[in-house]
Chain A
Amino acid sequence: MITAERKPLEEIIEYVRPFGKILLVGCNECVTVCSAGGRKEVGLLSSALQMAFMKEGKMLEIKEMTLERQCDPEYVEELSGHINQVDAVLSMACGCGVQEIAQRYREKPVFPAVNTKFMGASERQGVWSERCQGCGNCLLGLTGGICPVARCSKRLLNGPCGGSTKGKCEINPEIDCAWQLIWDRLKALGQEERYSDIIPAKDWRPSRDGGPRKIIREDLAS
């Protein structure tokens, strides 16, 4: 999922301060799963914002909505009946959702209420960690299902480096050395010999180095 974290309230308050009525929009997808911008968080932020302004003697009117997906125009269209009744939109979706609203409703200011973080997985309740950087050319088949691009601090394709100590990374003892994980996994699979296969220099063009990316499926595109 795409993970996110709520922005500091101070920053959000400054975004919405000039307005009297806002639309606070959550998203039912990734940000709901990582408890950053679903229906529940929309309710909490709305309550917190209202109190922050009430304290200053100001009434901020907030309309709460949570869309099925904020990154799809079909769902963003659902805001069309409400958008003219508000001065601005505050989105709790990832950056994709914020931009979808900005694109559809060009004359309405839209602000992000969360910081989009990374593509990750849940380690346990309340803990998420990075698993994928969307490099555009997946290497997991070569590395025992553990990604050196997302999980090695240096993105080494042939590791580990000298900073790997007792299975941990030198930048933080809390972080597992990805190459230790890869080695352990190859051993468990009985594929130790694959460790000595050299992975050639990666072509980063399918990643961000080739500029903003796009997928066009001719069979589906309308």
Chain B
Amino acid sequence: MDTFEPIIVAFCCHYCAYTAADMAGSMRLHYPPNVKIVRVPCSGKVDAIHIMKAFEKGADGVYVAGCLEGDCHFKNGNVKASRRVKYIKELLDEIGIGGERVEMVTMSAGMGPQFAKTAIEMTEKIRKLGPNPVKDMAAKRRRAVGQG
């Protein structure tokens, strides 16, 4: 388990977390390469199905990173995203994948260090939780349909 390197998908809002990730890079801050960033126009654009598909395809953890409360470029997309994350947590608990594998975080575009800190904390947390229970089957399924 010590060698387990989780795959974490981070849906990052273009107006905050994605820019914060950029800043973390410019500041030469180290954060784990386990985090795979998907840029979205707003965290509110992240639908429940996007999060579910990430897990179905074998991601070990997912987080949605939106703007600080009250700062959403589209007024309240971050609030909507946070409700969806809560819904998915319950769904993942129901099927035994574990709701703690998905989180909602907020930050501003200027919070490069916070982006790196979140990436480190999430990687550590998921590493402790261990692999997504459907990971092996997801890989088998991908092989079966010729997608790696």
Contact = CB atoms under 8 A, between A and B. Distances in A.
- Co-complex (A, B): yes
Nearest to A49: B95
A55 B95 CA distance: 9
A55 B96 contact: yes
Interface in A57-103: 57, 59
A50 B95 CA distance: 10
B134 A55 contact: yes
Contacts, number: 47
Contact of A55 (B52, B53, B97, B141): B97
A10 B93 CA distance: 11
Interface stretch (A40-48, A128-136, A185-193): A40-48
Given A57-B137, A59-B137, A59-B141, A51 B95 contact: yes
Contacts of A48: 52, 91, 94-95
Q: By DSSP majority rule, is chain A's interface helix, strand, loop, or mixed?
A: helix
B96 A43 contact: no
Interface string B117-148: 00000000000000001100110010000000
Contacts of A59: 137, 141
Of the candidates A44, A51, A59, the one having the most CB atoms from chain B within 10 angstroms of its own CB is: A51
Interface string A9-21: 1100000000000
A9 B94 contact: yes
- Interface secondary structure of B, over-half rule: helix
A59 B97 CA distance: 16
Contact of B138 (A43, A52, A54): A54
A80 B134 CA distance: 33
B144 to A, nearest CB: 9
A8 interface: yes
A14 to B, nearest CB: 13
B48 A44 contact: yes
A51 B134 contact: yes
B91 A44 contact: yes
Nearest to A58: B137
B94 to A, nearest CB: 5
Given A54-B138, A55-B96, A55-B133, 9 more contacts: A8-B94, A9-B95, A40-B49, A47-B52, A47-B55, A50-B56, A52-B95, A54-B141, A55-B95
